[in-house]
């Protein structure tokens, strides 16, 4: 079937724009719904999907996986761009990859029904990275392709509304999907976004006769890419998006480290008790509010006194992002001290972050399109998206580096693989050598398996750790389930020493503390460190009755799942001490955590903002539009 290949010669808005905007809103509902719950799913749900033999994933590992997915998602646009610009055109690529996208959500929704849930999860995330990532540059460039010289003045406004539609879908999804995960479990939480993706594909298909289908450039794309204009465009844009990559390294942590931070805050705000994954929806709420304010008030007002070029907007955005992470760093300082600050403080950081996003992300999106030669629009859009990938790779690298391995876990998996296939059927004890490399000595690690269920790890000095834990728990119970402050904790453990090594009392947050000692190697922050983490029973915030209560079960999916698997819950505790969770460990603790982690990224962003100023002063842009 033949389609129109050039923009409409009109002075008003192109007729195909509503289909693109509607498609983007539904597609972003699908993507952000999945992304909103991914970090929480990895740490609290994944290990329960196939049974109770596993254990929860730690936050550093979860953060690493979330940002690996983000990296892949924002790297695959190069595949979509080449397919669109060289071979098939943007419309066909968007339709084909959207079908793959729907299949990806089906894979995630089926986890736990056929076993091997981790493989289903990986398959789903890989397909989403290919489908959603592949269509991303094509959709953005497809927007610009609808405009000619007569109505190109609408381009900036449409990119703002394009971004508005992204956040409209995102805010709805990030409010609903965590609620579905909490009460109905992963199947519905991942399935509903998949349904919305199918709707998004249908909406886009309906507009096929109204679009300008700019043909693929074929080898003309390669010729233009290697031309003087093409090479200059790529060389000039590359350093711009190196700066933008640092912005995304911080921004995308709202879906990982910011969620983990909010779990340790008082989440009652505006009469509503927020789920940790729901807080990030306020970013989209702010975007919906801020875009009209920036477009119709702030930009015109500032323009009267100071010409606002795209690079100047981005420079201001870098400063605001630095301020946002500085505030989050202070919040984490309070949490590290054992306090439980109100979520309103993090919401304030979200407001600063959103203002930064409008000044950087939207502007960089438009900037990528206008600076791209005509046959390279989708490909150059990938420079913008590759910046996001590089930013997430930076977070992956940091979180991988700070994760100290565990001597016990390294050996345990090998030991389990060497056991007979029927090891699940009877109790067994696995003895692993400590630092001296020998079994039968004091530094052995001992793991007891009772019909496939792993009991807590026993480490060197286990009896002393248990004695310290009981003392701290007793004092905490006497203080109304409040862990001792740092000075009191240091005092309680000061009498315990092993030769020249002392035990350390470390507050992780208001709900958790850690007691640890250097291992037999005598060095801190190695895989031989041993210790115990204590988690107090978290008080449930009172839930106000609402119309949503009529739609949910009597208990959460997690509670029902653990009950069905026979996992001991706090409800079965016979004494106050049993309400506390004890987790013995060997190594595995991050080298950079708490406020120090956030201050690292605050400093990185501040340095980026300073270096961007001289670069922006010497950059000379050149615009290209479809004619």
First to last CA, the chain: 23
Query: What is the model's pLDDT at position 225?
Result: 67
Residue 541 is predicted with a pLDDT of: 47
Mean pLDDT of 251-266: 92
What pLDDT, in 10s, does the model give residues 385-421?
A: 788 889 999 999 999 998 889 998 888 878 877 777 6
Whether the Cβ atoms of residue 243 and residue 608 lie closer than 8 Å to each other: yes
**Which element (helix H / strand E) includes 507?**
strand 504-509
What distance lies between CA 457 and its chain's CA centroid? 30
pLDDT mean over 469-481: 92
Q: Kindly indicate the confidence band of residue 344, based on its pLDDT and cuts at 50, 70 and 90.
A: very high
Q: In what order do the strands lie in the sheet with 581-586?
A: 504-509, 512-517, 530-535, 581-586
Percent of the chain with pLDDT over 90: 29
Residues 122-147 pLDDT 10s: 889 999 988 887 887 778 778 778 77
Cα–Cα distance, 111 to 186 (Å, whole number): 8
Q: Is the pLDDT of residue 217 over 90?
A: no
> pTM score > 0.85 for this model?
no
Is the pLDDT confidence value at 34 over 50? Answer: yes
> Mean pLDDT for the chain?
84
Based on its alpha-carbon atoms, the radius of gyration of the chain, rounded to whole angstroms, reads 27
**Highest averaged pLDDT of the listed ranges 40-49, 469-478, 546-555:** 469-478
**Whether residue 371 has pLDDT greater than 80:** no
Contact 253, 395 (CB under 8 A): yes
The 10s digit of each residue's pLDDT in 574-596 is 677 778 888 899 988 888 888 99
Quote the CATH superfamily of domain 17-403+595-618.
MFS general substrate transporter like domains (1.20.1250.20)
- Give the CA dihedral 470, 579, 179, 29, nearest 10 degrees: 20
pLDDT value for 335: 92
Mean pLDDT of 566-571: 60
432 alpha-carbon distance from chain centroid: 35
Residue 227 pLDDT greater than 80, yes or no: no
507-543 residue pLDDT tens: 988 888 999 999 888 888 899 999 999 988 766 544 5
User: Where residue 363 falls among pLDDT bands split at 50, 70, 90?
Assistant: confident
Q: Which of 56-65, 160-169, 396-405 reaches the highest mean pLDDT?
A: 396-405
Judged against a pLDDT cut of 60, whether residue 287 lies above it is answered with yes
* Long-range own/partner contacts, residues 538-545 (CB < 8 A, 24 or more apart): 538/511, 539/481, 541/267, 541/268, 541/273, 542/273, 543/273, 544/271, 544/272, 544/273
Q: Is the pLDDT assigned to residue 226 strictly greater than 80?
A: no
Q: What is the pLDDT of residue 596?
A: 92
The strand ranges marked E within 140-298 are 268-269, 272-273
- Per this entry, what is the length of the chain? 627
DSSP state of 496: -
Q: What is the dihedral of CA 476, 478, 484, 487, to 10 degrees?
A: -150
- Write down the domain spans for the chain: 17-403+595-618, 407-536+559-586
Distance CA 62, CA 611 (A): 32
């Amino acid at each position: 079937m033949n389609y129109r290949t050039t923009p409409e010669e009109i002075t008003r808005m192109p007729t195909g724009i509503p289909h693109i905007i509607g498609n983007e809103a539904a597609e972003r509902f699908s993507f952000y719904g999945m992304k909103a719950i991914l970090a929480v799913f990895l740490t609290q749900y994944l290990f329960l999907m196939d049974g109770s033999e596993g254990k929860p994933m730690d936050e550093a590992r979860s953060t690493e996986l979330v940002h690996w997915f983000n990296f892949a998602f924002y790297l695959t646009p190069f595949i979509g761009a080449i397919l669109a610009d060289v071979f098939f055109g943007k419309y066909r690529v968007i339709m084909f990859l959207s079908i793959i996208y729907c299949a990806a959500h089906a894979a995630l929704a089926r986890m736990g029904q056929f076993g091997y849930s981790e493989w289903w999860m990986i398959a789903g995330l890989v397909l989403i990275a290919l489908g959603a990532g592949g269509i991303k540059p094509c959709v953005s460039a497809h927007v610009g392709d609808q405009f000619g010289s007569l109505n190109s003045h609408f381009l900036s406004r449409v990119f703002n509304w394009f971004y508005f539609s992204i956040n409209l879908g995102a805010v709805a999804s990030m409010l609903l999907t965590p609620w579905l995960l909490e009460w109905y479990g992963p199947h519905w939480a991942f399935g509903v976004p998949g349904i919305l993706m199918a709707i998004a594909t249908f909406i886009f298909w309906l507009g096929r006769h109204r679009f300008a289908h700019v043909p693929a450039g074929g080898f003309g794309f390669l010729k233009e890419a290697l031309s003087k204009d093409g090479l200059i465009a790529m060389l000039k844009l590359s350093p711009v998006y190196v700066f933008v990559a640092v912005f995304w390294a911080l921004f995308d942590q709202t879906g990982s480290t910011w969620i983990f931070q909010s779990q340790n805050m008082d989440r009652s705000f505006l009469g509503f008790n927020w789920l940790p994954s729901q807080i990030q929806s306020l970013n989209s709420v702010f975007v919906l509010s801020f875009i009209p304010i920036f477009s119709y008030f702030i930009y015109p007002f500032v323009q009267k006194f100071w010409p606002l070029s795209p690079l100047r907007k981005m420079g201001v955005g870098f400063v605001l992002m630095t301020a946002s992470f500085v505030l989050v760093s202070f919040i984490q300082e309070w949490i590290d001290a054992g306090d439980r600050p109100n979520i309103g403080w993090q919401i304030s950081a979200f407001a600063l972050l959103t203002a930064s996003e409008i000044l950087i992300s939207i502007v960089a999106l438009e900037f990528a399109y206008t600076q791209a030669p005509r046959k390279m629009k989708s490909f150059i859009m990938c420079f913008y998206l590759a910046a996001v990938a590089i930013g997430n790779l930076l977070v992956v690298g940091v979180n991988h580096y700070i994760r100290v391995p565990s001597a016990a876990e390294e050996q345990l998996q090998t030991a389990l693989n060497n056991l007979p296939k029927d090891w699940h059927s009877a109790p067994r004890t696995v003895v692993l050598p400590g630092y001296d490399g020998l079994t039968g000595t004091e530094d052995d690690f001992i793991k007891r398996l009772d019909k496939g269920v792993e009991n807590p790890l026993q480490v060197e000095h286990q009896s002393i750790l248990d004695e310290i834990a009981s003392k701290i728990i007793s004092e905490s119970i006497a203080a109304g389930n409040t862990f001792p402050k740092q000075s009191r904790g240091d005092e309680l453990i000061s009498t315990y020493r092993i030769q020249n090594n002392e035990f350390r009392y470390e507050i992780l947050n208001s709900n958790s503390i850690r007691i640890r000692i250097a291992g037999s190697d005598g060095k801190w922050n190695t895989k031989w460190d041993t210790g115990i983490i204590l988690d107090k029973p978290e008080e449930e915030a009172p839930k106000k009755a609402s119309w949503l209560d009529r739609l949910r079960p009597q208990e959460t999916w997690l509670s029902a799942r653990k009950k069905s698997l026979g996992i001991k819950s706090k409800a079965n505790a016979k004494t106050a001490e049993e309400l506390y969770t004890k987790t013995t460990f060997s190594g595995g603790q991050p080298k950079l955590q708490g406020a120090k982690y956030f201050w690292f990224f605050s400093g990185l962003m501040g340095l980026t903002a300073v270096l961007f100023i001289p670069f922006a002063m010497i950059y000379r842009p050149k615009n290209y539009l479809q004619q």
